[in-house]
Amino acid sequence: MSDTVHIGKVLRSKSSPIPTADAFAALNEIVAAAREYGRIRQQEQTKRAAIAAAEHVQVDRIHAAEKSLKLYFERVFAERAHTSEEMFVRLDQAMDSGDPQMVHAVVRGIVDLAQSSPLAGLDDFGKFWAELGTDDSPVEL
């Protein structure tokens, strides 16, 4: 350790002091900006919550539609399978009886069944989707 002593002068700042009114105005600006930040943050959180709620509604709509469509296909295809089995039984009977008109009629029925779509009964699928799960058209399972 050394016993050296340093002697110096304390220098004053050459800049002028900030007036009290300016300091108070700066403080008010910080408070106002913080309040505005809080207000905007709350608004944006509310918007995000509304978006999340809307998303939840649409996801529920999709799941309800999926269940309905699966049930529809299950029933329609079971019915179609039964109908096609019955038509082939009728075809065998018509061929066994040697009735060409009956064979033609049954084959025509089989072709018609094969060409039809299970969704053919839905005239406007877009309209069906738009109305699915609304207050006017609730989904019932």
State pLDDT tens for residues 121-134: 666 666 666 666 56
What is each CA distance from 128 to 46, 47, 83, in whole angstroms? Answer: 31, 29, 27
pTM across the whole model:
0.48
Please give the Cα distance from 79 to 86 (Å, whole number).
Answer: 11
Strand, helix or coil at 5?
coil
State pLDDT tens for residues 19-57: 889 899 999 999 999 999 999 999 999 999 999 999 999
State pLDDT tens for residues 98-116: 888 998 998 898 888 888 8
